[in-house]
């Protein structure tokens, strides 16, 4: 959400300070202009609570960003070292320091539930902030890491999809793709998210033809 007095001064790729539900963060402007609402509707992005833009990032904000990034790298090494110390089978995916430094997040994958209480205590003692360890699935892992799909474009999940939809094999059957399921899986080894909105597009074109 953009304040009226900032609409004219923001441009694509600007860094801005935003107020989220629980924290202040830094973000990048991806799109500007009146067509954004129509584009979001076309992608099925409805009813999301958008962060409020407070201001454009200033020099002191960039210093904080650089400091946070350096501490995130240090936190990665600390996490891996301490996980080995406690013999925890956890794959670290991403570390994120809230811009206001009130909380440090560790996103990881694991085969089952992990008792990480001692690990969390050690991390809190080292970084002197609130620690949150969050277990995620393989689709969320792909979303956070990002990458290029077999279509040659950036992953849908990391570029514009806000929420994951349930993807099942019947979506492929509807598109006559059942003969080669090996090509229907993304890098996360799950069925590609694009199967859902490609089907919606196909039905739309059929309806228009009729």
Specify whether 82 is located in the same domain as 131. Answer: yes
Residue 22, domain member (yes or no):
yes
Task: Report yes or no on 144 lying in a domain.
Answer: no
For residue 146, being part of any structural domain is answered with no
Q: Is the dihedral of CA 48, 54, 57, 61 positive or negative?
A: negative
Domain total in the chain: 3
DSSP 33-91: STTHHHHHHHTT--S--PPEEEEE--HHHHHHHHHHHHHHHHHHHHHHHHHHHTT---E
* Distance in angstroms (rounded) separating the CA atoms of residues 19 and 12: 19
Q: For residue 77, which phi and psi values (nearest 5 degrees)?
A: -65, -40
Rounded to an integer, what distance in angstroms lies between the CA atom of residue 97 and that of residue 36?
Answer: 29
Among left, alpha and beta (phi > 0; psi -120 to 50; other), residue 89 is: beta
Strand 24-28 with 91-97, pairing: unpaired
| Mean pLDDT, the chain cut into blocks of 10 residues (210 residues total) | 62 91 89 69 64 92 97 97 96 95 95 94 96 86 75 76 65 57 70 68 51
pLDDT at 60: 97
Name the domain boundary from 13, 31, 57. Answer: 57
Quick one: which of 169, 188, 189 has its CA closest to 179? 169
pLDDT recorded at residue 206:
44
Residue at 141 is within a domain: no
pLDDT score recorded for residue 44: 61
Q: What is the pLDDT of residues 15-72, one digit of tens each?
A: 999 998 889 999 998 877 766 666 666 666 655 667 888 999 999 999 999 999 999 9
pLDDT at 117: 95
Instruction: Determine, yes or no, domain membership for 179.
Output: yes
Alpha carbon 189 to chain centroid distance?
18
Give the domain range for residue 182. Answer: 151-209
Beta partners for residue 97, in sequence order = 104
């Amino acid at each position: 959400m953009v304040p009226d007095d900032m609409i004219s001064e923001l441009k694509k790729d600007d860094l801005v300070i935003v107020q989220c539900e629980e924290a202040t963060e830094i973000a990048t402007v991806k799109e500007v202009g009146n067509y954004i609402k129509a584009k979001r509707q076309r992608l099925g992005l409805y009813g999301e609570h958008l962060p409020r833009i407070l201001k454009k990032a200033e020099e002191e904000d960039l210093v904080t960003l650089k400091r946070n990034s350096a501490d995130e790298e240090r936190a990665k090494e600390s996490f891996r070292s301490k996980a080995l110390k406690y013999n925890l089978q956890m794959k670290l995916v991403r570390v994120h320091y809230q811009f206001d430094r009130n909380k440090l997040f560790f996103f990881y994958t694991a085969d089952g539930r992990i008792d990480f209480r001692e690990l969390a205590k050690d991390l809190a003692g080292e970084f002197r902030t609130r620690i949150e360890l969050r277990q995620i699935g393989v689709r969320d892992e792909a979303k956070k890491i990002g990458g290029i799909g077999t279509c040659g474009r950036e992953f849908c999940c990391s570029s514009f999809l806000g929420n994951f939809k349930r993807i099942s094999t019947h979506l492929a059957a509807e598109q006559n793709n059942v003969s080669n399921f090996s090509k229907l899986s993304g890098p996360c080894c799950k069925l590609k998210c694009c199967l859902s909105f490609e089907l919606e597009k196909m039905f739309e074109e059929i309806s228009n033809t009729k």
